[in-house]
């Protein structure tokens, strides 16, 4: 991972790093920061991080040989230093912590108003929607792709410049303490939690553990910051009650400060609804389908209103949003069938929300074909969650069900327990077999829905269907 065009000198960063300059000149300048020796460029600062598989210190000499102007290393790994080099070598107690510390220092060099977004589902879509709205009011920074962790988020912050008026940053986690640390680094002006669901249970134990991890955001935010929470999520609100914050809540319930009314599902054309907030009411139109996007849109409106943006900006920004690849993305195919690509991630809550939206998207007389891969990082709830997934498929009124992976039998069992026809509930062993089975059963006018956790690689099946069907 790299952050380019970050102009700083060794002397600039010694204090925020609480580091020691072992070799080189304090005036040595760096053109960027890079944690990957394979992609290091001349003039960059190589940051030696230790991961589960690789240790950057083992590649320090390679990075210097390729032209790195300097390196940040753990003070107990100075034995890895090359003997003869003009590069500036800075030693710190912990390179991962130091990366976050420096990113926090960089963030406060600029005046951009920072929004941090976390949650079990919907955080990426909400981030992208928010980026679209805020960009109408001024230059806005966002973190891309999976740059939402303890490495990627700091590298994203280094892209902040004087011209930026806003920054919107997604924060991910899979164990306690990560949201706390990310909040320390970003010091957000606005912090939003989309919801709490059964995700990353391997590291968090239970849905209550997930809630406690998410509300670390509230614990670490400044007292001046604005907290925005899904007021319809009882588990989240209960966990948030441990902190003396007065959040802006969003949802459908009348108790929420930002709520949706007059929801109209427009099928593949999207969804429209009225936003009622702060004594005003205005209509919005989303051109992406899925009931879950009502909550995403409400969250965005709450962020924008907290920053005193006009309703016109909210309406325009939400109307321009076109969806994200792999997240309930509607893809018309050449033969008249329709693919819904939701293969970026999956957990029980996001699966339920997606399945509840399918019926409104199915064409008259067409079948609904569902292909599911596994949901990962569910810990002790893995088996029960996959049985539940099959039950949800049956209850959604679908016509064909293809399940892939080691937990395909549990998914099929759940469907059969709810009366699903056995001849239409099919386990498959891999992507190739799933692709072949889907191509066999899908016809013109059908709706094909694919969803799984990202690491299962179900997007390969998406690519195959696109190749065969256009």
The token duo for 466 is 């696109």
Whether pLDDT at 1 is above 60: no
The token duo for 317 is 């920004």
The DSSP bridge partners found for residue 332 are 338
Order of strands across the sheet that contains 2-9: 2-9, 29-34, 45-47, 70-74, 88-92, 20-23
Mean pLDDT for the chain overall: 94
Domain limits, the chain: 2-93, 110-320, 329-469
Q: Which of 64-73, 77-86, 259-268 has the lowest mean pLDDT?
A: 77-86
Higher per-residue confidence, 167 vs 205: 167
CB neighbours of residue 239 within 10 Å: 24
The DSSP bridge partners found for residue 275 are 260, 282
Q: Which of 66-80, 155-169, 239-253 has the lowest mean pLDDT?
A: 66-80
**Among residues 442, 446, 469, 283, which one has the least CA distance to residue 366?**
446
Residue 71 and residue 88: Cα distance in Å, rounded? 6
pLDDT for the residue 440: 96
Residue 218 and residue 343: Cα distance in Å, rounded? 30
Query: How does strand 248-251 pair with strand 258-265?
Result: parallel
Residue 470 neighbours by CB under 8 Å, 6+ apart: 333, 334, 335
- Alpha helix locations (H) across 307-406? 311-320, 348-361, 382-395
pLDDT for the residue 80: 67
Beta strands in 321-429 (DSSP E): 329-332, 338-342, 368-372, 400-404, 425-428
Q: What is the CATH number of domain 2-93?
A: 3.40.1390.10
Angle at 169 between CA 203 and CA 143, to 5 degrees: 100
pLDDT by residue (tens digit) across 312-348?
999 999 999 999 989 999 999 999 999 999 999 999 9
pLDDT for the residue 203: 80
pLDDT for the residue 2: 62
The token duo for 167 is 């920054």
Whether pLDDT at 355 is above 70: yes
Superfamily for the 329-469 domain: Mur ligase, C-terminal domain (3.90.190.20)
Q: Domain 110-320 is of which CATH architecture?
A: 3-Layer(aba) Sandwich (3.40)
The token duo for 41 is 């460029």
pTM of the full structure? 0.92
Q: What interhelical angle do 311-320 and 123-135 show, nearest 10? A: 120
Residue 201 neighbours by CB under 8 Å, 6+ apart: 207, 209, 210, 377, 378, 379, 380, 381
pLDDT for the residue 6: 77
């Amino acid at each position: 991972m790299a952050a380019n065009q970050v102009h700083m000198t060794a002397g600039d960063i010694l204090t925020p790093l609480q580091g020691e300059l072992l070799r080189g000149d304090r005036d040595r300048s760096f053109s960027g920061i890079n944690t990957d020796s394979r992609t290091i460029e001349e003039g960059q600062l190589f940051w030696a991080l230790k991961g589960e598989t690789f240790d950057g210190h083992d590649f320090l000499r390679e990075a210097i040989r390729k032209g790195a102007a300097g390196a940040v290393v753990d003070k107990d790994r100075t034995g890895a230093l090359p003997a003869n080099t003009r590069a500036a070598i800075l030693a710190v107690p912990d390179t991962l912590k130091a990366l976050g510390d420096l990113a926090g220092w960089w963030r406060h060099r600029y005046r951009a108003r920072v929004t941090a977004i976390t949650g079990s589902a919907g955080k990426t879509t909400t981030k992208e929607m928010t980026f679209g709205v805020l960009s109408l009011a001024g230059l806005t920074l966002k973190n891309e792709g999976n740059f939402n962790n303890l490495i990627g988020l700091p590298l994203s912050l280094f892209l902040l410049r004087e011209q930026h008026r806003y920054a919107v940053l997604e924060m991910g986690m899979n164990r306690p303490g990560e949201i706390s640390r990310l909040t320390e680094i970003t010091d957000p002006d606005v912090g939003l939690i989309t919801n709490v669901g059964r995700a990353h249970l391997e590291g968090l134990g239970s849905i209550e553990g997930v809630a406690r991890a998410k509300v670390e955001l509230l614990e670490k935010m400044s007292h001046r910051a604005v907290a925005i929470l899904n007021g319809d999520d009882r588990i989240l609100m209960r966990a948030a009650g441990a902190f003396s914050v007065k959040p802006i809540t969003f949802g459908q319930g009348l108790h929420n400060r930002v709520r949706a009314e007059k929801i109209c599902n427009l099928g593949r054309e999207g969804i429209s609804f009225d936003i009622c907030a702060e004594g005003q009411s205005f209509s919005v139109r989303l051109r992406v389908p899925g009931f879950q996007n009502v909550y995403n849109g409400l969250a965005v409106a709450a962020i924008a209103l907290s920053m005193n943006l006009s309703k016109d900006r909210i309406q325009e920004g939400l109307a321009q949003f076109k969806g994200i690849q792999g997240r309930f993305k509607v893809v018309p195919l050449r033969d008249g069938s329709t693919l819904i690509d939701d293969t970026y991630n999956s957990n029980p809550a996001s699966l339920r929300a997606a399945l509840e939206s399918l019926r409104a998207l199915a064409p008259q007389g067409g079948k609904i074909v569902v292909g599911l891969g596994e949901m990962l990082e569910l810990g002790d709830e893995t088996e029960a969650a996959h049985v539940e997934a099959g039950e949800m498929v049956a209850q959604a009124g679908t016509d064909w069900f293809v399940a892939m992976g080691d937990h395909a039998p549990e998914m099929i069992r759940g469907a059969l327990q709810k009366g699903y026809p056995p001849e239409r509930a099919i386990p498959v062993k891999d992507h190739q077999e799933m692709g072949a089975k889907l191509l066999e059963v899908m016809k013109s006018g059908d709706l094909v829905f694919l969803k799984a956790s990202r690491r299962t690689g179900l997007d390969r099946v998406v690519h195959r269907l696109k190749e065969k069907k256009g």
